[in-house]
Chains A and B, each alone.
Chain A
Amino acid sequence: MLKQLFPIKHVAGYISSLVLSAVALVVLLDIPAGSKMAILLVTAVLQAAVQLMLFMHVGESEDKKSVYINIAYALFVALVTILGTLFIFVWGWYS
């Protein structure tokens, strides 16, 4: 019964998300500043992927192609908004 209620896929996903959160904490230690953002990006994206693939079953429906395009488009708009705004106000500001 326990095995039935706690499938290995879910348990593995849960543990990996806890581990990834813990790994992200190394940015609080004294490591090179350049690598910190990279670590945060990688752990966050991996965690999001864990949720999407293992928990949300993103690839299981008949519309999975549309769902993938939808998420990709959303990420495109998200990145453009964030990076474009930083480009305008921070990196590319007249000074």
Chain B
Amino acid sequence: MKWDEFFVTGEPLIYGAMVSIVLVSLAILFGLTYYKKWGYLWREWLTTVDHKKIGVMYIICALIMLFRGGVDAIMMRAQTAAPDMKFLDGQHYNEVFTTHGVIMILFMAMPFIFGLMNVVVPLQIGARDVAFPKLNAISFWLFFAGAMLFNISFVIGGSPDAGWTAYFPLASIEFSPTVGNNYYSLALQISGIGTLLTGVNFIVTILKMRAKGMTLMRMPMFTWSVLITCVIIIFAFPVLTIALLLMMFDRIFGSQFFTMANGGMDMLWANLFWVWGHPEVYIVILPAFGIFSEIISAFSRKNLYGYSSMVASMVVISGLSFLVWAHHFYTMGQGAMVNGFFSITTMAIAVPTGVKIFNWLFTLHKGRISFTTPMLYSLAFIPIFTIGGVTGVMLAMASADYQYHNTMFLVAHFHYVLIPGAVFAVIAGFHYWFPKVFGFRLNEKLGKTAFWFIAISFNVTFFPLFFLGLMGMTRRTYTYSAETGFGPLNMLSMVGAIGLAIGFILLVYNIYWSTRYQPRDKTGDPWDARSLEWSTPSPVPVYNFAVAPEVKGRDAFWFSKKNNEPLSNEKITKIHMPSNTGKPFILGIAFFFLGFFLVFSWWIPSIIAGIAVLIILATMSFDRDHGYYIPVEEIVQTEQKLRGDTV
């Protein structure tokens, strides 16, 4: 292989990206050395097994990926803003929409949700950590390795270019001869293993580590949503694992699964992809429902309306999510019976989802609503998501779908579902739980300004796409002529995209501004909220709860505040905590190199990296470190420092 094949060449934009990557990396290395932060980074972050810090790392990665995916989005909108644009060529456009989709779903939405659930779930159930803290660190570093592997593809070897769905035969070695789709299969595989382990970890955590008295039906709704999500994860992700494995075999080892000759069946890829892909939609959206439930209840000063029906609807959704996947390919050639069946199951999902919408509305009903930033996102979510849901039911009708299929109407629909559903939720959750982790709130004025930019611009960007789709504009079109009449609406959409970009920049600026100027919160409960995480001081000490709380009902912290009853009468005793370990980080590095070498089919290095993975796993197995104890005096001191004189 020649060097000009190894690095991507010939594109001024990519040269610019390379230069900036090198400069930023050098700046980070220089900064760490100059301020002598290497030891801090290693001790406090790279080796941590603390669920809160792992959560923070997930969220930082997610925010960076939001900007990577956002730049892709702006480039796409710019290229289609006017007829016959020459900003990107067809190949570059293909790469941009592929990476936009993959990054936004798998490396932005998922880690953002994982970050929030890492920070919040153990606190909500009154636990000191997750069930398997080391495994949690492994999950994070595998995700990180996968994300990095995916991102270097655009400077080394070339990005995947067959869409985030990577349909065969387009994604085969014959039609996509660059290593781009090798990156796709391996990066997603590595981060997928991490996701699966997270799923197992959180189910055990939620089912086995709840505080005394917290029965399943007393859990906060976010914890419930995470539990259901993790159930979907552990049964859906293995399907992706296999699909990606077969893709890798087809591309690297010449197997015939999805080929056009020798009995291969390209449509089988689409089938497997969506057997995983549809439950994946719910993996992203159910925790969002949980976040909104928490926020709407907290800022209406009411308990959540219809708690049991909320739980039941999520259980039903988790089952139905495995029964609808063929609605993604109604036009593929299966008979009317098949399409009819999947049409009905798809429409059935609207029922439990509708139940949830009504529950939120009834929670708001007669509540004392305070319009904070997280609440604004939650309130905006309800109508916008409903538009997404209704257009979803339109798409669910198989016969009508023959008209909408693969048009911009579909693009508009899923952005109307995923942006209010997932993005608004994680941003709302980010504002809501930020003071818990860092000890101060984000500035409300900046937060609200960003909200209005995002909420309005979102509609300006995506509402025109419904009409463009109905006019016949297909998705993934990189250019069109003036005669089509697509120009004006696309230009409008571009204007909206710029507004969205400004909104997100304001959001990050708010983090910077608030870090410098916001007053510190000493109460630990700045929103006057309801669940156990707010009973701890902020920032939360490493052991979470000085004494394990005891729960007597739903919204336990709220009633302990109202009735002036402490959450526990026990005395402080020494606390057992897991020790930090650098092995998950090293395992992530080994997996990164294993993936990288396989992408280029460099066999000897691949085998060496594979053996390294096994050796690291073996050393972990031989580890006999059972953690350490925090003595009582230290706990008392920490609590006094964080809470002032209140204890």
Contact = CB atoms under 8 A, between A and B. Distances in A.
Contacts of B265: 89
B593 to A, nearest CB: 33
A85 B271 contact: yes
A25 to B, nearest CB: 29
Contacts, number: 48
A89 B235 contact: no
B335 A73 contact: no
Given A88-B271, A92-B338, A76 B207 contact: no
A6 interface: no
Contact of A93 (B236, B325, B334): B334
Interface string A17-43: 000000000000000000000000000
Contacts of A11: none
Given A73-B231, A76-B322, A81-B239, A63 B275 contact: no
B337 A89 contact: no
Interface in B558-595: none
Contacts of A73: 231, 235
Interface residues of B, number: 23
A92 B335 contact: yes
B333 A93 contact: yes
Contacts of B319: 76
Nearest to A92: B338
A66 B265 CA distance: 38
B322 A88 contact: no
B68 to A, nearest CB: 33
A74 interface: yes
Given A87-B338, A92-B335, A93-B333, 6 more contacts: A73-B231, A76-B319, A77-B322, A85-B271, A89-B268, A94-B336
B235 A85 contact: no
14 contacts: A66-B207, A77-B236, A80-B322, A80-B323, A81-B239, A84-B323, A85-B268, A85-B275, A88-B338, A89-B268, A89-B271, A89-B334, A92-B334, A95-B335
A66 B231 CA distance: 11
A77 B325 CA distance: 12
Interface string A61-95: 00100100000011011001100110111001111
B411 interface: no
Given A87-B338, A88-B334, A92-B338, A77 B207 contact: no
B43 interface: no
Nearest to B336: A94
Contacts of A76: 319, 322
B231 A94 contact: no
B235 A74 contact: yes
Contacts of B212: none
B208 interface: yes
Contact of B337 (A66, A81, A85, A92): A92
Given A63-B207, A73-B235, A81-B275, A89 B267 contact: yes
Contacts of B336: 94
A77 B334 CA distance: 21
B334 to A, nearest CB: 5
A65 to B, nearest CB: 10
A63 B208 contact: yes
Contacts of A95: 335
A73 B232 CA distance: 10
B326 interface: yes
